[in-house]
Each structure stands twice: as C-alpha cells, then as structure tokens.
Structure 1
C-alpha cells in the first residue's frame, strides 16, 4: 500500500514523527550553529589553540553513543531512551553556554555529542516500532532532510546571536527546545522497549572503533607525515574491528553483517560512501571566499547548497515504493553526485565571472540532490533486511554508526586532499572535488554489488525471503 505525506502527518503519528525528526534536527542544527558562533565564543573566553577540538570531541562522543543505541533501547525502552537523550543534550548545551573557559566548553561539547549520537541513532531504530512499515520510507526521508534544515537554520540562528553579542543565548535556545521535546516524548512514545536484547556493552568493538574515529579526527588537525600515520592507524584499527566483530559474541553490528553473502555489509558501505563525500561542504565556503571573493553570507549559502539539494533529493524520491524504483534511485544518486562535483571542479578558475559563480551554486545543488535521493533508500534497505526485532534494531543502529564514522573519515580525507592540491587554492579545490567525485562513483559499484548479494541472500538456505522479509 502506497503512503503519503498527509498520512505521516496524521494526528495519530504526528507527535511520534516530531520526536524522531526533532532528535536529528537538534543534532544537525547544533553542528552548524556552533561552527558559526565559535569565533565570538573564543574571543570571549579564550582557548583559540583548542578551537578545532570542539568538533573533534563532539564527533568522537557521538560515535561512542551511536554504538550503544541497541543497548540503551533494550534496557530503558524508546520513551526513556529519548528522555535521556534530550535531557543529556540540554545539560551539555547548558554547560557549553555557561562555559567560562574553552576547557569547560569541551566538556559541554562532549556531553552534547554523547546525547546527540544517541538521538540520531534512536530515530532510525525506533521508527520500526512506532510507525507502520508503509511509512518507514517517508519518515526516513524526513529525518534525512533534517540535515538540510540544520545547515540552513544553524548558521542563521548562530550568526544572529553572534551578531548581537549574545552567543550564549543560542545555546540557551537549543536547551529550551530539547526540554520541550522531552515533554512531547512522554505523550508520543511507548514506555516498553519492544526492540532488542543485549548481553552488555561491546567493549572490544567500542574501543577499536572509537580509536579509529579519534585517530581520523586528530589527523584532520595535524599536518604532514603525522596525518598519514594517523590515517594508517585508523585504517588498521578499522580492519581489526571487522576481524574482531566476526568472532565476537557481543558486537556492535548484527551477526548477519558477516554472515555468508549478506547484503547488509554493502548497505553500510553505500551509506559510508555518500556520507564521506558529503563532508566536502565544510570546505566550500572557504573556496567561495578565496576564489570567488564572496562575502561570509554568500559563501555560507554556497556551502549550504549541497544540503539544500540533499533535502530536495530526499523528499522528491521518497515516493519510490517498488523495489525496482528503490534500486534505480540508489544507483542514480551517486551518479548524480559524482557528475555534479566533477562539474563544480571544472568551474574552479581564477577570477571567476558571475555566471561561473552561479554555476557553482547550481552544480552543488545538483550534487546534493544525488546524496539525498540515495541515502534515505539505503537506510530503508537496512531496516528491511530482517524481521527479527533484536537483529533489526542492531542493523538500524549500525546505519547511524556507519554515517557518523564516515563523517569523521571524510573530514580527515578532505583535509588531506586540500593539502595535496596546495598551496594554490584553485588547485586544492580541484583535487578535493575530483577526488570526491571519483569516490562518489564507487557508490554505483557498491549498489550493484548489494543487488547481487540481496539476490543471492534470497536464494540461500537461510534467505530472508523464506522468513518473509521484504527486501
């Protein structure tokens, strides 16, 4: 049965949808809001030498909590898991807003990250139990679109409070929103879990994956050989993580990820590719100012073009209901992304004309559309891969973990490519853009590999088709 946006917004689903989307929106808005007001905060409380660590601490904390989503759900249920997430986010935001020094700010950012990673992961895990299956794709599309909303609202709100000299007020506003969502959570979500059981914290996997994320995050703020060494360490830690998980009894990702020809591993990889490429937006405003001579606002809007395209692509492709259309979207998305970035790279020239700059906006918007149309369908594919509640909850939580890890790796790789293309800014822009365009095209190969794995999985002895799973 086909779904519609009006059905998702119906009275019986509205409160649940607001909570799920609100958790993702808080995370996304916070990322871009903090970036826009940090210069003012540093001018007030000092600690410029720790500037880069505000994102490093937040990201690593998010990765850690994203791996604990299934455990938190099994022990506390959807309602109390969300309450803990919103309350923790509010507490971290208050600490950051009241911080007298940068060290205290980092503590607040760490608490924010732990709560934020949990909130984003909960959205993709809880949707299976609070909404009917026919609404999953629409709800996933809505949650994915919140990243685009964050990229627009975050800089505007943060910039406004910074402009009036009241950067702490921006954090206060976020805390109030988080508390309001707590009140809504009690009405919207069930008290029971109905999700997953767990034997405990997967310490081995958590340490290895967190180590990899930390190495990549640090690699993005150091130079030269240290960056290469840290990337190698991160890759080694990631490889050991996979080997460890294959034989572990208590793991982050579901056992079926490593079983036979399971398509789940390719689903995760498809998300990783798209999420890594999306991190190019962190350098787009810099290129706009240095190459095009754009002002801060115009350059910020240029960086937001990818997220706007992401939102457009997500919402416009959410009506793809048949499996054939879902697969077509997952192939077309990375093709559009790679093509758009390649076109943007070709437009990187010294002293660009007005029409060339207009072309920057158009090609980035086009590229972002490719991310949006594909990534939400990868998330839905992961949710449909099993009907077992425990396994499906782990698979859903792994979707978010994959995206957060990819963001960390993507940011570091982007920094490396920018350095390789220097010292000329146009050279940096071209190397980064063409490099990520090639990475985007890898997503096409991943999609076809997942299709083959899904078909083989269906025909196998333990095939999901035999268990009544719709892929």
Structure 2
C-alpha cells in the first residue's frame, strides 16, 4: 500500500462524523487520567477536613485496583454486551464514585467512592481502545492512537493543576462534583453519539471467549489490600504478617495467571532475568512502585512542612508529567544504536530523582524539588517507549499481544502496590500518630530513602535488558 493511500483526510473524517465520535469516546480517557492525578493536590485540604492521614496511600491504591479489574473486564464484556451499553454503565459508575467522594463524611467512605470511580474510569479507558477497533477504519488507527496518547498527556499534567485550583478557590468536594457531572453527561451523550450495529449489537455469541480470570484478579485485589492494611496501624507482628501475606498473594496471582494460557494477563515467565521480557517487566514494576512516594505524599508533605501552596505543588506534579511527554517525543526517532544509552540514561534519571527527593523535600528547596520531579518524569519518558518495544520484540510471536498489554497492566499494579506500601512507610515514620511538621520531616526522609534499593533494582534490570539482546522468549 502506498504512502498516499495511508494519508488521512482529517476534514473528510470530521465531515463524516467519525472524528467527532472519536473525540467524544476519548473523553473517557480524559476523565480517568485527570481524576487519577488530581487527587494528590486535593489531599491536603481533604485530610484537614476528614482526617485519616494514615489512609492517604489507599486513595491511589484502591483506585488502581478498580481500574485494573475493570480494564480487564471491559475488554471481554464488550463481546457479550453492546459497546454503547458498556460505555453508559462505565460512565455511570464513574459518576457514582465521584458523587460518593464529593459527599463523603469520612475517609473510609471516600475510599469506597474511589474504588467505584476506578472501576468506571478503568472501563472507560479500555472501552476507548476497543472503540477504535470496532468503529473506525483500520488505516487511521495509528493516528487515532496518537491522539489518545496526547489526550493522556494533557490529562496527566492538567489533573494536578485542576485539583489545586479548585481546592484553592472553591473546595476539594467541588473537584469531585465536577467529575460527577462529567461522568453523567458522558453517559447521556452515549445514546446520541454511539449508533450503528458495531456500537449497539453484540459482536459474538457467548462461549467464544475464554473464561474471565476472576480468581487471579481477586487474588491480586486482596493482595494489595493486605499490603495497605499492614500500614494502617503499625504493630510489628500484625503488620509483618499482613505484609508477608500480601506479597505471597502477589506471587500466587502470577502463578494463577500462568496456568490460564488463553486468558492470561502476562506473558510466560514475566520475571525471568535471562530474557528481555523478564528484565523489562522487572524494570517497569520496580520503577512504578518506587516512584509513587512523591505522587501520593508530595503535596501533603510540602504543604505540611513548608507551607507551600496547593497551586505550587500542583505545578511541580504537573512538571513531572510534562517532562515525561517532552522527552518521550524528543527521543521517539532515535536510531536503534542509541537505545542502550537512552534506556540506561532514563533509568539513572529516575533513580537519581527518587534519591534526590529524600534531601530536597525535607529541605524545602522548590528549585531542587522541581529538578528531581523533572528527572523522575523525564527518565520515564525517555526509557518507556524503548523498554516497551524491547518487551514486545522479545516475547514469543504467540505472546506479543499479551506482552504489549502487560506493560500498562504491570505499571498499574506497581502504582497500586507502591501506593499501599507508601502507607506502611509513612505511618511507621510517624503519620500514624499525628500530622505535624516534625513527623512530616521524618516521613519525608524515610518515604524516599526506603525506595532507593528498589530504584537500584530497576537500574540493574535496565542494564541486563540491554545485555540480554533481542532474542525472543520461548513460550
């Protein structure tokens, strides 16, 4: 096929209504990603009203659990239930969760709302990708996926700023109220926008797909909850037992996943250090867990320790996402012989940023804190496209599709586990007793130092990834 035949006529696409329909569908990504990143900058105001600082780590962990489960569910349900019905239910779930959060009188009820929000948001994202395949011509898929990536980037840096602005000038509850109306409006609009057989009819008869991995995903959810529970009330025996059970549960999840070749979420031997797939997955997991500290606790620590405004904290969080996007674009066309330098350089930047936060956050130097945020976000942006490519290229041909979808799934798992484990470190360092300047300083040091070994594990995996070459894994 010639290059000319692949060229997209965007005016004709808009005139046909396909582009407008695609933009509408992609609003689900905007709702999910903005909400995911917004919560960090509304957290200081929310904790001041609801208290429950020992549960801060749950705000992201429980949201990611819902998103992981819903993302895996939506891709299968769309075969049994029409796409439009799935979109409506997902949007209503999202709106319901936002309403619960906005009206929550206590932190436990707020977390229940976050779980429901995560279910709705995760489903909206998965359904957006399904919609591209179902509703649009194959020749424009690359362009549409590119737009989706840009929308995600915009949401990643606008979320913290939006949360900070609304909390600063209105209230943190207003931020969730905004998402309630957004979810409700999207549910109503689905009936007008999603038409035609591809959106309103089932695509296959029941029984044509493998069984949904209920046991494996249930094990994953319970494991993350156990890790989070270990950090609520720090007692050596109780916390140790819960942590060990949670980690064992994660191991059981991967064992259960490996036993179901037709419905697995990860390729075979996902942590084999002798293969590109294994080293790539170790790198993704290690850095996803290790970088949660600043995302979850950064604004709370900065406002408690140094009186930094929510808006300034929002700008710093946003800068991390902007650095990710800019450097990802900057290295996108790098020649293959530069891959090694880019991946190792990105890994080193992430590790340096994590270690640097241990000094800069307690010290309160905004320029240095911003530098660490730029290093952490920029390192991700540099390394991630090439790591993902090497993981997919290193997988066996039968598992290349699984490998590509496993990267974002592993990242979400890492965020969930990281957010839960952050709660253990923060509460052990003093937040379980009180939220004060003195305890915040202790928390700020240990919250980042604790993850330096994991960051070094990610760097080691990056080095092995490049040494492993490009030989495909054996299924």
Calculate the TM-score normalised by the size of structure 1: 0.75
Paired residue for 2:360?
347
Q: 1:89 to 1:419 in 2, by over 3 A?
A: closer
Per-residue deviation, 1:152: 2.5
1:375 to 384, 391, 394: 384
Matches of 2:133 and 2:394 in 1, distance apart?
12
Alignment RMSD: 4.4
State the alpha-carbon separation in 1 of the partners of residues 196 and 159 from structure 2: 23
Q: Which runs of 5+ in 2 are unaligned?
A: 431-437
Which stretch of structure 1 is more off in the superposition, 127-136 or 141-150? 127-136
Question: In the alignment, what sits opposite 1:288?
Answer: 302
1:247 matched to 2:256: no
Classify 1:197/1:309 alpha carbon distance in 2 versus 1 (closer, same or farther; 3 Å). Answer: farther
For residue 455 of structure 1, what is the aligned residue in structure 2? 470
Residue 420 (structure 2) aligns with: 412
What CA deviation, in whole Å up to 9, does each residue of 1:94-114 have, x standing for no partner? 455566887765554333221
8 A contact 1:288–1:302 mirrored in 2 = no
Per-residue CA distance 1:138-192 (angstroms, 9 max, x = gap): 45742552323322223334544417x8566424433245337736862799548
Which of 273, 276, 282 matches 1:269? 282
Secondary structure of 1:457's aligned partner: coil
What corresponds to 1:468 in structure 2? none
Q: CA deviation at 1:214?
A: 1.5
- Asked if the contact 2:276/2:390 (under 8 Å) is kept, the reply is no
Q: Counterparts of 1:255-404 in structure 2 under 5 Å?
A: 256=268, 263-281=276-294, 282-317=296-331, 319-320=332-333, 322-325=335-338, 328-347=341-360, 356-379=365-388, 394-404=402-412
* 1:22 CA drift (Å): 2.9
Please say if residues 125 and 393 of structure 1, whose CA atoms lie closer than 8 Å, have aligned partners that are also in contact: no
Q: Which 5+ residue runs of structure 1 have no aligned equivalent?
A: 463-471
Q: Distance in 2 between matches of 1:48 and 1:157?
A: 21
Q: 1:404 Cα deviation (Å)?
A: 2.0
For each residue in 1:54-86, what CA deviation from the matched residue of structure 2 results, as whole angstroms up to 9, or x when unmatched?
Answer: 655434322322332442344347665444433
Query: Does residue 1:430 correspond to 2:445, yes or no?
Result: yes
Q: How far apart are the structure 1 equivalents of 2:400 and 2:80?
A: 16
Give the number of equivalent residue pairs. Answer: 447
The alpha-carbon distance between structure 1 residues 397 and 116, as it changes in their structure 2 partners (threshold 3 A), is farther
Distance 1:275 1:114, change over 3 A: same
Given the alignment of the two structures, is residue 217 of structure 1 paired with residue 228 of structure 2, yes or no?
A: yes
Distance 2:216 2:467 in 1: 29
**Relative to 1, partners in 2 of residues 1:442 and 1:166: Cα closer, same or farther, differing over 3 Å?**
closer
Change (3 A) 1:17 1:446: farther
Q: What's the TM-score, normalizing by structure 2?
A: 0.75
Where 2:194 maps in the other structure, the secondary structure is helix
- Structure 2 residue aligned with 1:30: 35
The separation in 1 between residues aligned to 2:342 and 2:278, in whole angstroms, is 19
| 1:227 to 1:322, Cα distance in 2 relative to 1, 3 A | farther
Contact persistence 1:263–1:453 (CA under 8 A): yes
Shift in Å, 1:93? 3.1
Q: 2 CA distance for matches of 1:338 and 1:366? A: 9
> Contact 1:69/1:121 (CA < 8 Å) preserved in 2?
yes
**How far off is 1:237 after superposition?**
0.7
CA distance in 1, matches of 2:216, 2:366: 46
Q: Say whether the 8 Å CA contact 2:324–2:381 is kept in structure 1.
A: yes
Give, in angstroms, the shift of residue 205 of structure 1: 1.0
2:358 and 2:449 in contact (8 A); partners too: yes
Residue 277 to residue 38, structure 1, CA distance change in 2 (3 Å):
closer
1:125-136 matches, cutoff 5 A: 135=143
Q: How far apart, in 2, do the equivalents of 1:257 and 1:82 lie?
A: 34
Please say if 1:114 is aligned against 2:122.
Answer: no
Q: Secondary structure at the match of 2:415?
A: helix
Deviation per CA, 1:423-444: give whole Å up to 9, x if none: 7644533333344344334333
Cα distance in 1 for partners of 2:141, 2:463 equals 25
- TM-fit CA distance, 1:115: 1.4
CA distance in structure 2 between the aligned counterparts of 1:398 and 1:182, rounded to whole angstroms: 29
Query: Partner of 2:70 in structure 1?
Result: 65
Q: Does the Cα contact within 8 Å between 2:166 and 2:174 map onto a contact in 1?
A: no
For the pair 1:179 / 2:187, whether they are aligned, the reply is yes
- Structure 1 residue 407, shift from structure 2 partner: 1.0
* Cα separation, partners in 2 of 1:313 and 1:409, compared to 1, 3 Å: same
Distance, in Å, in 2 between the alignment partners of 1:409 and 1:17 is 33
CA contact (8 A) 1:320 1:326 kept: no
Matched residues in 1 for 2:91 and 2:243: separation?
Answer: 33
Go from structure 1 to structure 2 and tell me whether the alpha carbon gap of 1:47 and 1:447 turns closer, same or farther (over 3 Å shift): closer
CA contact (8 A) 2:61 2:224 kept: no
